[in-house]
Structure 1
Amino acid sequence: MARAFAIVDDRADDMDRLDAVAVKALVRLFGFWKARIADAARLAGVGARTFSRMRAEKWDGALNEDQRLRASALVGLYKGLHLYFGAELADTWVKMPNDGPLFGGRTPLAYMLEGGLPAILEVRDYVDALRGGA
């Protein structure tokens, strides 16, 4: 019985480490995108105060499954943009008006903010398809 508790503890420790890495990655990518705190928080699925604490490395909470999925999709989008474009364009693309079929002249950032997690996943799929990864 003691071993079962050790496995649960190991998984909890793994999730804590995964969450810490995900938060650090989100903070960095939102910095590269020059996203406002309110926008970064909304994309990450947290409140603005929570995101401010994350950015200041003063947050010790746990991400829920929705937040982990958002982090994964956003990091994947960031990576896809850097594989497809040069670094400068990759980091500004999300704020550029886009006539692509998803965006209708809006910026990808606005599209993701309006559509939440489903839109984040769509934008990631869109960029993956552009670079031939889908």
Structure 2
Amino acid sequence: MTASKAQKSPADARRMSVSGLKAAFNILDKWGCTAEQAQAILRLPRATYYKYRNDPESARLDRDQLTRISYLLNMHQALRIVFENPENVYGFMRKRNHNPYFHGRAPLDVIESGDFAALYETFRRIDTLRSGLW
């Protein structure tokens, strides 16, 4: 396969970003995020957030936003692997965590700042749960 064939077409990339955004909205809802938290986590202005909630097909996401969505989807996947029951899968993000990084805060409290580094570090710590390294 040539390098050009390995690349996704713009239409494929667009479909994937719309699907990812819909999944991210669903996950954030199940985590109990407020609209303000979701806006900060996804780095979406208020009007844009509501526009995309009502019409995800209209979304035009930049690389940073797509990376944020990727981290959310991967955190969700890791939690689904680690926990069997939905209460833990979806409740983990709101539970206080005494790991040195979280210092008694819930992971959601950390990522709601919208800071990219906080999102990445939270992803890393949740991802290591899969391997039992935490």
TM-score bucket of the superposed structures, by smaller chain: 0.7 to 0.9
Letter in 2 for 1:24: K
- Measure how far apart 1:133 and its partner are: 7.1
**2:102 matched to 1:111?**
no
- CA offset digits 1:46-67 (Å, max 9, x no partner): 1122222222226613110000
Map 1:1-134 onto structure 2 (within 5 A). Answer: 11-57=9-55, 60-85=58-83, 86-114=85-113, 116-132=115-131
TM-score (ref. length: structure 1):
0.84
CA distance in 1, matches of 2:11, 2:132: 33
- Measure how far apart 1:106 and its partner are: 1.0
Answer yes or no: is the 8 Å Cα contact 2:76–2:89 preserved in 1. yes
Moved over 6 A (4+): none
Answer yes or no: is the 8 Å Cα contact 1:50–1:59 preserved in 2. no
- Where structure 2 has 5 or more consecutive residues not aligned to the other structure, the ranges are none
- Measure how far apart 1:115 and its partner are: 5.9
TM-score (ref. length: structure 2):
0.84
Higher Cα Rg, which structure: 1
Which has the larger displacement, 30-39 or 51-60?
51-60
CA distance in 1, matches of 2:103, 2:76: 21
- Which structure dedicates a bigger proportion of its chain to helix? 1
Answer yes or no: is the 8 Å Cα contact 1:77–1:127 preserved in 2. yes
- Higher RCO (CA-CA < 8 Å; seq separation 6+): 2
- Measure how far apart 1:12 and its partner are: 2.0
Aligned residue-pair number: 126
- Measure how far apart 1:22 and its partner are: 1.3
CA distance in 2, matches of 1:34, 1:110: 12
- Measure how far apart 1:31 and its partner are: 1.3
